[in-house]
Amino acid sequence: MSKRLQLLIDTATAQGILPRDTAPKAAARPWPVVLMTGLGAWLAAVPLLAVLFMLFGSALETGVLCYVFGAGFLFGAVRVLRSNTVSPFVEQLGLPVLLVGGMLLVFGLLRDMPYIAAEGLLLVIVIGTAWLVPQHWLRVLFGALAGAIFIVMNTPHQSSGQFHLWAGIQLALVLWLIAVFLADSHAPSRRHAHTMIVLETMSNGWILLTLAALAYDSGSTFLAPAALGHVRDAGATADSSYSMVKALSAVMAVAGAGWLGHRWTVLRAPRYAAAAAILAILSWLVPGLGAALLALAVCVGSGRWRLAVASAVAAGWIIGTFYYQLDVTLASKAAIMVGMGAAFGVIAWLGRPVSQTVSQSADVPPIAAPGVGSPVSTTTRPQLAGIVATLLLTLVVANGAIWQKQALISSGRPIFIALAPADPRSLMQGDYMTLNFQLPAVENLRTARRAQVIAKVDERGVAVMQGLATGQALAADQIVIELLQTGSGLRPATDAWYFKEGEAQRWSGAKYGEFRIDDKGRALLVNLRGADLEPL
């Protein structure tokens, strides 16, 4: 249970809503027993539901039985979850029944009603169910589900690509801000205690889902597999609405900084205004970041630390999407990030004397009281040494990886591997193309993390896979190639080739992948070649 929920319960106790001797109820059963009971309930629910669909399958698909069974299951599950007298098995059985009842209602409403009306009614049902169930974790899940429905409701169904969820996400963020304001500006009372608890738990799930949608809608992030996101469609940056998205992102970053300045007086210093300006510029360059920073500021300023961590993770993901903005050159991106990092370093350095002066007294511990003072921290010599060591280690690891790849490019053996047909739906994805290679000898190792194969290299340098390497001696025209597991299966080095936006036609004629390979079989894709090994 969170501290805020505990505060609400304590306040309700102090005002007579609960007896003064109320204590948290101790778990009556060990968690392994609860886990096994729940597993048994879920396993028992599966055959029961199978029988239901076998008996009423066609009627459920076309008639009103989906509403009858859906409402009945939902009602029965809520009654079970609210009851204190049922057995643990029956209580756990209520969860899958609740899920099935909801799915039946979703199916019927989307089948018989316009999408917007069905989604609105589902939103009401979800909120009502969250109001009735007593389990806090279920309310968090219902809050996330309600947030997802709300975002879909406010998303144009004809839109696609990056930022197509933007309108729904921003409205969801606004509603969460309103919920936070209501929760923080009204003291709990006997009359509204239940409402405040439901509002707090549901809003937690709501903002977590909103942050996840914001990160997804922002696109692929740096060093993440391309399948985890998407890239901006060609010409998206020239759209007039894109300029509005960037401007609003910067405004939200400034609003978040202003909120923190309101809560913590030390952040009103000019140097922190400069930091806010840098974040606003970065939010303008990376649309979507402003919303995450605003959520982060509100969570930090109101003491919602777990949600603050989630907001920081979303912000970090969104900053990484800057790597895929192909309208900005890689050198320009690097210069921008280095410049901003240096500016933040200067701001942090300017803030150190103030922290050291305030913390001279050993009798006064560091505090962080929103609205009263400011977060005061001290940096000891071991901590400073740790920071410097971490920075140096990061630089060594990053530059070491770069050096290894450069060495492989300059001294590795050039070979060519024929491309195999790839799924046309995923061949071209804006700024990268999916690669498939002719690897018939390792089809039975799709789930392996890595494997080594023997390839025969002809006079042109074309390598043809012959089979798995088993340690046998190699002929003069044979080499070992290491295959790595990717999202598409085992591949030499990678399963994608990234290119500048607008060059899809240039690379569409690729028939071979050009690699550099070392004596241990490690390969690096450096280029694509045509049917006659000509450069593209």
Q: DSSP per residue over 10-53, as a string?
A: HHHHHTTSS-TT--PPPPSS-HHHHHHHHHHHHHHHHHHHHHHH
* 162 and 246 Cβ atoms separated by less than 8 Å: no
DSSP 8-class letter at 528? E
Cα–Cα distance for residue pair 69/180, rounded to 1 Å: 36
How many CA atoms lie less than 13 Å away from 489 in the CB half-sphere?
13
The backbone torsions φ and ψ at residue 370, rounded to the nearest 5 degrees and listed phi first, read -55, 130
Cα–Cα distance for residue pair 118/257, rounded to 1 Å: 39
Which residues fall within 8 angstroms of residue 331, CB to CB, at 6 or more apart?
A: none
Cα–Cα distance for residue pair 198/93, rounded to 1 Å: 23
The listed range with the strongest mean pLDDT (146-150, 373-377, 402-406, 509-513) is 146-150
Residue 183 confidence (pLDDT): 86
* 301 and 259 Cβ atoms separated by less than 8 Å: yes
- The amino acid at residue 85 is T
247: burial class by Cβ within 10 Å (0-12, 13-18, 19+)? middle
Tens digit of each residue's pLDDT (9 = 90 or more) over 398-419:
777 777 777 788 788 888 888 7
The 8 Å CB, 24+ separation contacts for 327-336 are 327/237, 327/501, 328/285, 336/285
Tell me how crowded residue 435 is: count the other CB atoms within 10 A of its CB. Answer: 23
Which residues fall within 8 angstroms of residue 278, CB to CB, at 6 or more apart?
A: 340, 343, 344
- Would you give the distance in Å from CA 285 to the centre of its chain? 20
What's the mean pLDDT in 40-61? 74
Tens digit of each residue's pLDDT (9 = 90 or more) over 174-219:
999 999 998 888 776 677 778 888 889 999 999 999 999 999 888 7
The 8 Å CB, 24+ separation contacts for 395-399 are none
What is the H or E stretch that residue 491 is in? Answer: strand 489-491
111: burial class by Cβ within 10 Å (0-12, 13-18, 19+)? exposed
* For residue 170, pLDDT beyond 90: yes
Mean pLDDT of the chain: 78
Q: What is the pTM of this model?
A: 0.65
The listed range with the strongest mean pLDDT (117-121, 220-224, 386-390) is 117-121
* 408 and 401 Cβ atoms separated by less than 8 Å: no
* For residue 259, pLDDT beyond 90: yes
Residue length of the chain: 536
Tens digit of each residue's pLDDT (9 = 90 or more) over 442-489:
555 555 667 788 888 888 888 887 777 777 778 888 888 888 776 666
Supply 527's token pair: 């280029």
Supply 76's token pair: 């029965």
Tens digit of each residue's pLDDT (9 = 90 or more) over 322-381:
877 767 776 777 888 888 888 888 888 887 654 444 444 444 444 444 444 444 445 577
Closest CA relative to residue 167, chosen from 327, 202, 175 = 175
First to last CA, the chain: 60
Percent of the chain clearing pLDDT 70 (strictly above): 76
Greater confidence (222 vs 239) lies with 222
Positive or negative, the Cα torsion across 71, 75, 81, 82? positive
* For residue 125, pLDDT beyond 90: yes
Closest CA relative to residue 302, chosen from 260, 340, 355 = 260
Residue 427 confidence (pLDDT): 42
167: left (phi over 0), alpha (psi -120 to 50) or beta: alpha
The backbone torsions φ and ψ at residue 143, rounded to the nearest 5 degrees and listed phi first, read -65, -40
* 302 and 184 Cβ atoms separated by less than 8 Å: yes
What is the H or E stretch that residue 527 is in? Answer: strand 523-529
Radius of gyration in angstroms for the set of CA atoms belonging to the chain, rounded to a whole number: 29
3-state secondary structure at position 188: coil
Q: What residue ranges do the domains of the chain occupy?
A: 3-244, 379-409, 412-529
Greater confidence (167 vs 352) lies with 167
330: burial class by Cβ within 10 Å (0-12, 13-18, 19+)? exposed
Positive or negative, the Cα torsion across 114, 115, 116, 118? positive
* 299 and 307 Cβ atoms separated by less than 8 Å: yes
Supply 460's token pair: 């042109």
Tens digit of each residue's pLDDT (9 = 90 or more) over 299-317:
999 889 899 999 999 999 9
Residue 59 confidence (pLDDT): 76
Residue 31 confidence (pLDDT): 60
87-101, 121-135, 247-261: range with lowest mean pLDDT? 87-101
Supply 165's token pair: 């969820």
Cα–Cα distance for residue pair 249/295, rounded to 1 Å: 12
* For residue 246, pLDDT beyond 50: yes
Angle between helical axes of 31-62 and 65-82 (0-180°, round to 10): 160
* For residue 292, pLDDT beyond 90: yes
